[in-house]
Amino acid sequence: MAATTERQFVITRNLWRLSRHYSVVTPHGDNLYYVERSVCRPGKADLTMHLGPDKTAPVAAVCHMPHLSGNLKIGLGDPSRPEAMQWEDMIKQTLTASEYQWAMTDLPQRRANLDPARTAPLRFAWKRTHSVAADGLSLWSLSTRNYKLIDLDTGQRAAVFTSDRTATRCGVLQIDATHGPDFDLMVIATCLGLYEKAYRRSQSRGSGS
């Protein structure tokens, strides 16, 4: 998978009904990922991340949101090559969806740096925050879509997402930990899944369902 060089990522959204999608771009506007959004299409991932500016680019990751479940399933790779996929679950820990936990079972870069013999999965938690923002940004105190990613083994912050109030920008994701390209991709995929899940909850409440 392609290496990521930027440590901050701007997540934008297209609200046009026939082409609703997210884009992940660098602070300079370079397109990194085009993220298809799909609702109520059996067999289709809820989010499909393409490594490029549009949906013709290769698939880098997918996110499934099982119906009637608060959990998410993240897959790194292209589902058309199932033998090469790496699947991980992101589990809701609280009724208010203020914390989600996930693990990576294969991060050779991190294990080599800490302990070559270590085989336990590396565990992380996205937690809602009202006190931590990406560098150079400030928090909107009423937002419930600001999150920090905590390494559960060390207690250190691994990433932070700061939401944006404008119509076309979701926010800025900053990755602080340096564990290699697979980790970066997993952080981006879980952050997008977290944001989309929160968006769907807000839409459901707005419709009265």
Q: For residue range 168-206, what is the model confidence (pLDDT) as tens digits?
A: 999 999 999 988 899 999 999 999 999 999 988 888 766
The CATH number of the domain covering residues in 8-207: 3.20.90.10
- Share of the chain residues as helix, strand and coil, in percent rounded to the nearest 5: 20, 35, 45
Residue range 18-42: average pLDDT?
88
Could you tell me the CA-to-CA distances from 94 to 98, 101, 126, 128, 203 in Å, in that order? 6, 10, 12, 11, 20
- The overall average pLDDT reported for the chain is 87
pLDDT value of residue 144: 87
Helix, strand, or coil (residue 107):
coil
Instruction: Answer for the pair 71, 89: CB distance below 8 angstroms, yes or no.
Output: yes
| Beta-bridge mates of residue 92 | 100
Q: For residue range 97-131, what is the model confidence (pLDDT) as tens digits?
A: 999 999 998 765 444 455 555 567 889 999 999 99
Percent of all residues in the chain with a pLDDT value above 90, rounded to a whole number: 66
Give the start-to-end residue ranges of the domains of the chain. 8-207
Contacts with 26 (C-beta within 8 Å, 6 or more apart), sequence order: 6, 8, 9, 10, 32
In this structure, are strands 122-128 and 169-175 parallel, antiparallel, or unpaired?
unpaired
pTM, two decimal places: 0.88
